[in-house]
Amino acid sequence: MPRSPVIPLEKSLTLRSPAALVEAGLAPASAREGLDRVAERYAVAVTPAVAKLIDASDPQDPIAAQFVPTTAELTTLPEERADPIGDDAHSPVPGLVHRYPDRVLLKLVHVCAVYCRFCFRRETVGPGGPTMLGEAELEAALAYVRERPEIWEIVFTGGDPLVIAPRRLAELLERFRAIEHVKILRFHTRVPVVDPARVTAELVAALRSTGKTVYVAIHANHPRELTAEARSALARLADAGIALVSQTVLLKGINDDPETMAALMRGFVEARVKPYYLHHGDLAPGTSHFRTSIAEGQALMRALRGRLSGLAQPTYVLDIPGGFGKVPVGPDYVRADGSVIDPNGGEHDYRFHDVV
């Protein structure tokens, strides 16, 4: 029997249906019919590590809000779209996105350990389709990269690339070793946070086997996600010399206040994860209940600037719908008249010092 390319998740432990969520006490039985309709369209998975973090007695629990489906997901606004950041417009071969000159994204897998209710790829990830890129698709992606010396970095995404079994991952990464102009391999993942037991010595060894510089971007949105087990998993990666950066999505009612965001960013830094991006919510179908306004995000960033170490400051970015790329949308501290605003809101004249 051929081995699975993806580490199996114990189905009796990972909750994969509304029925399982109801049985575990994470969703009310009265909501079952509506949640079944949500699950017909969008994948559901809640790992044991996530389930034990959920406070089922709190209807506003920030962990449940991220992973337990609700019927709010059945409401799709006119401006929402299946491909909100325009991956398809920049996909020259299947599974590969080339939006920026010096890097490409490679969607190795189409499954995740958990499924975030706000995911911008929620229309394309989950069980039911192919688990991984096929061999012909992978070879086409490799050929595309080989032929373009301007490609300096490959960003492995999906799905979640760290659900791939370590031996299979090492085999895949070996194929990138010989591409001389590729210097950086970056992995976008939730695994160390939502299923930290997967971060084994074998997985760490697979990441280190490439002969390239490896970065791992860790996705977490609330400080409670940085459990002792998650921090241990992050330490295993950091101790191996793997650089860690963070990714967070700004989510209404979950992390859109300065206290929560500051605690999360400090938690990242304490775990040797450099805060990198705070993403404005994308226009994915059925996610409007998660989105703040950009003005609210800018006010949050302004509050963080006044209270938080520079080490803990992420860049607030908007991925422009339609495939036009990410741009920083943080607050502006320099006004057109030459005045500068300090972190406490004070205004200072800088016109006579700004010499070209």
CA distance 189 to 116: 12
Closest to 18 measured CA to CA, from 52, 46, 54 = 46
Q: Is 151 in contact with 102 (CB distance < 8 Å)?
A: yes
CA distance 261 to 197: 26
ω into 159 cis (within 30 of 0): yes
Neighbours of 204 (CB within 10 A): 19
Exposure string of 225-250, with b = 16+ CB inside 10 Å and e = fewer, is bbbebbbebbebbbeeebbbbbbbbb
CA distance 57 to 70: 16
CA distance 41 to 182: 37
Side chain identity at residue 15, one-letter code: L
Q: Which residues are catalytic?
A: 99-100, 103, 112, 116, 119, 121, 282, 319, 326
Closest to 209 measured CA to CA, from 239, 240, 246 = 240
CA distance 68 to 301: 28
CA distance 64 to 51: 8
Closest to 50 measured CA to CA, from 155, 190, 177 = 190
Q: Is 126 in contact with 43 (CB distance < 8 Å)?
A: yes
Greatest distance between any 2 Cα atoms in the chain:
75
Which neighbouring-strand residues pair with 46? Answer: 15
Closest to 207 measured CA to CA, from 231, 183, 247, 172 = 172
Dihedral angle over CA of 235, 238, 241, 245, nearest 10:
170
- Residue 144 DSSP label: H
